[in-house]
Chain A
Amino acid sequence: MSSYRINSPAVIHQIFETEVVVVNLENGSYYSVEGAGIDIWRLLEQRCGREMIVAAFTRHANGSAETNETQVRAFLDEAVAEGLIVPEADAPSSGTTQPSLALAERIQSNPPRLHKFTDMRDLLLLDPIHELDEAGWPLRNQSLGR
């Protein structure tokens, strides 16, 4: 079974009771993970695989298993698309999960959410350097005047 790893060192995070704050150092975007996303993030931190994470929220879900699975897979896909986590096809899952009714109910009442903030991106030099002076030092980038 393949696993995920949090995309460190580019991605750093801090888990709080009601939220996970995630920062992507490479592009300045930062994120708030809420709801059952906090539980998913904890499993990602343990390097649990995709199917293992899905199972944690569906095994005891009874009638809502399909909805729960959709929620979990959507969250994981979004996190991958944002570069926050990286699938590792050849790496076995090293974490363990405890599928529970509590997890299954939590995701129903409080689905995983990933809020993205991009207001810091302007402070980073994301474009290559175009102009140098005679000695080879870069010329001022007015957009980074701060």
Chain B
Amino acid sequence: MNAGDEPLAFFERAEATFREGAAAGNFERRTYRIAEQPIELVAGPAYDFAATALTHLVSNDAVAPSFRILAWDDASSSKSMPAPPWSTDAYGVRGEIEGFNDDRFRTAYDHGANSLSMIDLERGIALFWMRDAAHAPQPDRATPFRTIFHWWAEANDSLFVHGAAVGSDAGAVLIAGAGGAGKSNTALLSLSEGLFYLGDDYCLVRPDPIPRVFSLYATAKCAAKDFVRFPALESAVAPSTDEPEPKRLLYLAKEFGEQLRDSLPLRAILVPHVTLASDETIAVPTSSADALKALAPSTISQLTGAGAETFHGLAALVRQVPCFRLSLGRDSTKIAGAVRKAIEQANE
């Protein structure tokens, strides 16, 4: 076999394993409308968490999907995943598998979740395999198939961005920043105060012709110490698991469905900073470079295959919309108002 044939050969073997499992088990088939595209998810019974995270995007349109994700695990399947045909030296720093990434295929292993993601861009099919999906780590239950959605977005002139997004009838803001910057709390405080919600961790952004942000996950994660601020969200907390969980996982579609939006025009990028300098939260214009530093490193570091293309896409995005530094004050009840004001300011 030529080296170039290996990705195809392995993809076919893995897909055959999925199909055997699907034929024997009670796999669910659902179609979602994601960033205006019909996407089908065929998943084994242990992937209920994925269906819950994406449930606000379920589509009943009778149209052929433009992209399929096939997801299964060994624990609930009749046949085990074939052994990897690559050596341990083949794993890159983001889990990318050397020799299995080319124009047609992308392949990556997530060492935090023990999961394999693989996409065939030519056929529009992705495979997602875990050893045991019933014990999927919290990040996967909150934001499933991240790597696959990143590859798919890149192939569809969009960006899979590490950031929260909330908005109003006037449009949305993307809230950028690494963990601990105040991104999730800002999004959840905005949700609690009646703003629309598109995501707290990852969103899709289509930059052209006019930047638009698309929701992917109706979920949120919140540090246990911060959760006291959100008594209204108690009913959305996911059942606890036996996995170590540093944060509360929230499934928002059931209780907050009316505030979820599939997409909104992107009006601004906010870079939150916890300053506690005063009670007030204020948004002041900041540089595009500041926004890029908040968006790009955390997006790229967490996504397999994200590199120059993602970086330059984000660099173009931060030049397209106004950017604000959001200095988070002590009075958390005033944060949503500052977000609303920033949207209005961006529209002026």
Contacts and interface: CB of A to CB of B under 8 A. Distances in A.
Interface of A: 8-9, 12, 14, 16, 18-21, 23, 25-28, 30, 32, 117, 119-121, 123-126, 128-129, 132-133, 135-142, 144-146
Contacts of B2: none
Interface string B10-26: 00000000000000000
B271 to A, nearest CB: 13
A43 to B, nearest CB: 19
A137 B131 contact: yes
Contact of B312 (A14, A136, A144): A14
Given A135-B82, A144-B111, 11 more contacts: A14-B289, A14-B315, A16-B288, A21-B296, A21-B315, A28-B297, A120-B298, A132-B88, A136-B83, A138-B111, A146-B112
Contacts of B82: 135
A18 B311 CA distance: 18
Interface of B: 80-84, 88, 91-95, 109-114, 116, 131, 137-139, 178, 244, 287-289, 292-293, 296-298, 300-302, 307-308, 311-312, 315
B112 A144 contact: yes
A12 B88 contact: no
A139 B84 CA distance: 13
A117 B289 CA distance: 14
Contact of B293 (A12, A30, A121): A30
Nearest to A133: B131
Contacts, number: 109
B301 to A, nearest CB: 4
A16 B323 CA distance: 14
18 contacts: A9-B308, A21-B293, A21-B296, A23-B296, A28-B93, A28-B301, A30-B296, A32-B289, A32-B293, A117-B297, A120-B178, A120-B297, A125-B111, A129-B91, A137-B84, A140-B114, A144-B112, A145-B137
A52 to B, nearest CB: 26
Nearest to A19: B289
A133 B292 CA distance: 39
A22 B108 CA distance: 25
Given A14-B315, A23-B311, A129-B88, A123 B302 contact: yes
A109 B133 CA distance: 58
A interface, over-half SS: loop
B297 A125 contact: no
B315 A123 contact: no
Contact of B114 (A9, A121, A137): A137
B297 A19 contact: no
A14 B114 contact: no
Kindly list the 7 A-B residue pairs having the minimum CB-CB distance in the complex, ordered from nearest.
A144-B112, A120-B301, A19-B289, A141-B111, A16-B289, A14-B315, A123-B301
Nearest to A143: B112
A66 to B, nearest CB: 31
B83 A16 contact: no
A144 B115 CA distance: 12
A30 B111 contact: no
Contacts of A18: 287, 289
B224 to A, nearest CB: 16
A132 B111 CA distance: 11
Contacts of B93: 26-28, 124-126
Given A16-B287, A30-B297, A21 B292 contact: yes
B160 to A, nearest CB: 15
A25 B293 contact: no
A123 B81 CA distance: 26
Contacts of B301: 28, 120-121, 123-124
B91 A125 contact: yes
Given A23-B296, A120-B178, A125-B111, A136 B289 contact: no
A102 to B, nearest CB: 22
Contacts of B178: 119-120
A119 B302 CA distance: 12
Contacts of B114: 137-140
Nearest to B306: A25
A13 B165 CA distance: 26
Nearest to A139: B114
A87 B251 CA distance: 52
Contact of B111 (A19, A26, A27, A140): A140
Contact of B81 (A28, A135, A138): A135
A137 B113 CA distance: 12
